Every structure is written in C-alpha cells, then in structure tokens.
Structure 1
Amino acid sequence: MVVACVRCLIAGRVQGVGFRASTREKAMELGVRGWVRNLPDGRVEALLQGEVGAVGALKEWLWQGPPLAQVTDVQSEMVEIPEIQMFEVR
C-alpha cells in the first residue's frame, strides 16, 4: 500500500456549515486518517493521510463539501509527517 500525506487549505463558505464534521465522516468512510480544523481567516485546514487513492478521493470531495458549503478553492501540498492513527476534528 502506497501512503500519501497531504495538507489542504479549503476556502469559500466552509465555516458554520458542518464542513469539519462532514470531512471527518467522509474520511472515516474512505479509511483516511488525519485531522481538520477551522482557521482564523475563515478557511478550513485538513491533513489527510492514507492510501493514495483514498486520499485522492477525499481531496476531490473537498471541492464539494457538505450541502451548505460553497467551496471556491482547495490548495494542497504533500507533507512528511509520522503515521497518524485516526481522523479528528480539532
């Protein structure tokens, strides 16, 4: 299994719409580990770690988000961190 670790910054209407909880739910469904949190500037930051295909699927989902979200941008970069055991909302 090839593991990827990606840090994503999601912009748009992404706070106050259930984005973090929905991201955690989708991550658990896909078997992706990591975390998601709100940033003071109104964006959401997520760290995704798992099988390359699952991380890719979650990255694609971030462009949609939950029904009330209006995503305008998703920036992502590969990062190197120790293995994470679960997915959490921070």
Structure 2
Amino acid sequence: MSTENRAQTEADLIVRRYSVSGRVQGVGFRWFVHREAAALGLRGWVRNTPSGTVELVAAGSLADLAKLRMALEQGSRGSRVDRVEENALAASEADTLGVFTIEGAW
C-alpha cells in the first residue's frame, strides 16, 4: 500500500464507543467481540466494567462498524444482549488504538 493510500485509509477511520448490557460478563462475550473485531480488521479494545456491562472502542470503516454492531446485538452463545449503546468519538481517537485487544484478560 502506498503512503498516500495508507494516509487515506487512516483518514477514513471512524471511531465508535459501545456499551453492551445484559448477561455479557462471564459468558465469553469479550472473546466473542475480540474474534469478530479482529476478523473485520478493526482496531481498538474491549473490557468488562464494574457495573456489569461490556465496553468497547473500535475504529474502522463505516461498513465494518455496522457489521460489528450487528454481531454485538446478536451476542455470543450463552450471552443475552439487552441493549447496545453507540457513541461517535473523534477520528483522532484512532491514533491511540492498535490491534484489537481484550483489556483485563489473563
């Protein structure tokens, strides 16, 4: 990929923060999110929160983020997704994101 194309790709990144509530902790949901996000080539992270939700930040194309949102709404085997909240973040947030990771995993 040329430097110009790479710059264009970086500039086109969209960043979203998601909060997923339901039965999403202790059921492999973070691993599910990691697998889905990595398969889409997204950058970002996922983690459990003290309130019982799963929070994630993902950067990628609008189409790939829409696919991730659909996966989040469906959930993993054993999970129950009651709600997915989505908020846009500044594109500059993508600068701090690397390969998609699970935070707080052993």
Q: What is the aligned-residue identity percentage?
A: 34
* Alpha-carbon shift at residue 85 of structure 1 (Å): 2.2
Q: TM-score, normalised by structure 1?
A: 0.94
Match of 2:32 among 22, 29, 41: 22
Aligned length: 90
CA RMSD of aligned residues (A): 1.0
Distance 1:28 1:79 in 2: 20
Match of 2:88 among 78, 84, 89: 78
Distance 2:47 2:87 in 1: 17
* Alpha-carbon shift at residue 65 of structure 1 (Å): 1.5
Structure 2 residues not aligned, in runs of 5+: 1-8
Q: TM-score, normalised by structure 2?
A: 0.81
Q: Does 1:64 align with 2:77?
A: no
- Greater per-residue helix proportion: 2
Post-superposition CA distance 1:31-69 (Å, at most 9, x none): 111000000010000101011111111011101111111
Task: Give the 3-state SS of the residue equivalent to 1:25 in structure 2.
Answer: helix
Structure 1 residues not aligned, in runs of 5+: none
Q: Does 1:87 align with 2:100?
A: yes
Aligned AA (2:16)? V
Does the CA-based 8 Å contact 2:59-2:94 persist in structure 1? no
Distance 1:68 1:87 in 2: 22
Of the two, which has the highest radius of gyration? 2
Match of 2:53 among 11, 26, 43: 43
